[in-house]
Chains A and B, each alone.
Chain A
């Protein structure tokens, strides 16, 4: 190892140590916040059921309405919210680290909308009715296609602009194809369900959806979560990373597979929910510092918190029909996007 690398690493460690104090505090705060939000998501809903009834119903195994609501409706909704949020947050942090680009995010690079397209094809043309696993698999195939397209279009070391444009192209194409597929579907209601697939929702998702998606999302999170060190090294430059023993090819596949697993399976059951992966790492970077290894797991936790909060909000807001999740995450996320754009512009000058 050259002297310069050691210097840089030492420098990083110094900066890391500075952030470590904040980082620990933030992590602690998230660890406290997460169970609170998870419980709140379980307890809040359109039907006014006392918390005691819900909690006792969850463990009683009876067929009373409160028990059914607790086990069949609220439980999958809260758990799916947490898992999907964690997957999106983790994928956002990993993609930003890997592409070394603060604007990289599953939905901005088109992975989410392509996963939507895959799921739509599987559902509306009858595949998922015969084989339940076809749904997450189709979502993952869609996400994989987007990841490969982005790789081909923008390359790994692409400029911010190139990546965003390539993402926009993939996103637009997938979104249009989704609408087209829904309009061609034999179900006359299908065209009305475009909003679900483009904006996402957790309304009345079932334990079946949870069971079919959770294994893939968890696997994706684990694959991405183990890439922290390699991403740290990549942050020092490709050559340095190579000299530190990082197999770049392996890292690339790791990021692609992890994102495909977590985002593809999540979107297949909830529709595409934007901006979670953008906002979360950006917020956390202030307290954890820039090192991906310190950012990945807190991002998963914060992603879960953000999505649970958004899902609680859609149930509390007195709108006519429940808002789609993407509307809320978009409202929270778009200002961050503006902020990031302004910062990027300053740096480019």
Chain B
């Protein structure tokens, strides 16, 4: 029995020999996180995908959901991933540390993507994934197209903004939400409100220090809960005279992915619209960069 297990392990370890990411292109790639899914789909690597996460096809959470239709889905456990016989596993920053460790012990090559904290971190990761897939040229082209969109945000006064999530969660000064707001010409005051890099903000704190723009990305009346009920607190509805409110699809920044760079244009667009139509608004629309025309750089 024990010998059998040893044999099995040995067989599994023997499988991916020579499949080190940079050497020969991986042909059976499994992504362990929704964010990993996005990189594979952004590269249009459907022919090399052996498994995506269950959320890859969720149009609400996954910006490339339309490309994920028909792709094999796994449940994220080590055994089901092993059954897919991957020659490369793409793992996110935090998700499924136990599973990733187990796969590494069993000899499956794992490419760990650090969670990008800024938009500028994303193009190098595209190239990294593209190289592992043997799509180096395509990766560089996509990365360059996206790099061209990253420009230093204009100087001058910026409207303040905060993203408000179920339960009062407010992303602060660290992470992709903050960087996307910056790139869209907004000043994220989430960190100031909660007093921490990422924390919770009570409804009353928000009312007392209202940002110019309140961004909502997770309003789901179809999925009720205690956290959702905090989002439609009557006091917030009454305070709509104090701040503009914009809805922004969570898919663009739930994962820091190639889509996030494009999401900046969408964010600037919805922010500009909300701030512009807001009655008491005294903001210069010039503070918000005009959305770039969606030309050949567009991914979707």
Contacts and interface: CB of A to CB of B under 8 A. Distances in A.
Contact of B235 (A48, A68, A193): A68
Given A187-B224, A204-B233, A320 B238 contact: no
Interface stretch (A22-30, A123-131, A219-227): A123-131
Contacts of A196: 226
Contact of B202 (A63, A203, A208): A203
Given A63-B238, A72-B235, A187 B225 contact: yes
Contacts of B210: 65
Contacts of B282: none
B224 A72 contact: no
B225 A73 contact: no
B124 interface: no
A187 B228 contact: yes
Interface residues of A, number: 36
A205 to B, nearest CB: 9
A153 interface: no
Given A47-B202, A73-B204, A208-B234, A68 B227 contact: no
B226 A193 contact: yes
Interface in A317-339: 320-322
Nearest to A315: B202
Given A65-B242, A204-B168, A206-B234, A123 B204 contact: no
A162 B224 CA distance: 38
B277 interface: no
A18 B233 CA distance: 51
B204 A45 contact: yes
B199 interface: yes
A74 interface: yes
A192 interface: yes
Nearest to A73: B204
Contacts, number: 95
A129 B221 CA distance: 8
B238 A207 contact: no
Q: For the side of the interface on B, what is the size category?
A: 20 to 34
A48 B204 CA distance: 9
Given A45-B202, A74-B204, A204-B233, A68 B239 contact: yes
Contacts of B220: 187
B204 A46 contact: yes
A47 B220 CA distance: 27
A238 B239 CA distance: 59
Interface in B157-182: 166-168
A52 to B, nearest CB: 15
B207 A47 contact: yes
Nearest to B201: A46
A192 B239 CA distance: 28
A68 B233 CA distance: 11
A68 B166 CA distance: 20
A156 B167 CA distance: 42
Interface string A59-76: 000010110110011100
B167 A192 contact: yes
A342 interface: no
Contact of B224 (A47, A69, A124): A124
Contacts of A73: 202-204, 207, 233, 235
B59 to A, nearest CB: 15
Nearest to B206: A47
Nearest to A191: B225
Interface string B200-216: 10111101101000000
Interface string B276-300: 0000000000000000000000000
A175 B210 CA distance: 38
Interface string A180-191: 000001111110
Contacts of A204: 168, 202-203, 230, 233
A49 B202 CA distance: 13
Interface string A19-48: 000000000000000000000000001111
A125 to B, nearest CB: 8
A123 B235 contact: no
Contact of A206 (B221, B222, B224, B233): B233
Interface of B: 166-168, 196, 199-200, 202-205, 207-208, 210, 218, 220-230, 233-235, 238-239, 241-242
Given A65-B208, A188-B223, 13 more contacts: A45-B202, A65-B239, A68-B207, A68-B235, A69-B235, A123-B225, A124-B224, A186-B222, A187-B220, A187-B224, A189-B228, A193-B227, A206-B233
13 contacts: A47-B205, A47-B207, A47-B208, A69-B207, A72-B234, A72-B235, A72-B238, A73-B207, A126-B222, A186-B223, A187-B225, A187-B227, A197-B226
Interface of A: 45-49, 63, 65-66, 68-69, 72-74, 123-124, 126, 128-129, 185-190, 192-193, 196-197, 203-204, 206-208, 320-322
Chain A to chain B: the 8 pairs with minimum beta-carbon distance, closest first: A72-B235, A187-B223, A47-B204, A46-B202, A47-B208, A69-B204, A187-B225, A65-B207
